[in-house]
Amino acid sequence: QVQLVESGGGLVQLGGSLRLSCRAPGIIFSINWMAWYRQGPGTQREMVAGIGGGGNTNYVGSAKGRFTISRDNSRNIVYLQMNNLKPEDTGVYYCNTAPPGHSWGQGTQVTVSS
Q: How confident is the model at residue 68 (pLDDT cuts 50, 70, 90)?
A: very high
φ/ψ of residue 33, rounded to 5: -75, 135
**Strand, coil or helix: 25:** coil
Averaged over 79-107, what is the pLDDT?
A: 97
Count how many Cα atoms sit within 13 Å of the Cα of residue 103 in the half-sphere of its side chain.
8
Query: pLDDT value at position 53?
Result: 86
The percentage of residues in the chain with a pLDDT greater than 70, rounded to a whole number, is: 100
- Mean pLDDT of the residues in the chain: 95
Question: How many Å separate Cα 99 from the centre of its chain?
Answer: 13
Least confident residue range of 25-34, 49-58, 101-110: 25-34
Average pLDDT score over residue span 61-67: 95
Is residue 98 predicted with pLDDT exceeding 90? Answer: yes
In this prediction, residues 22-47 reach a mean pLDDT of: 93
d(CA 109, CA 94): 9
Instruction: Tell me: pLDDT of 31 over 90.
Output: no
- Arithmetic mean of pLDDT, 11-40: 94
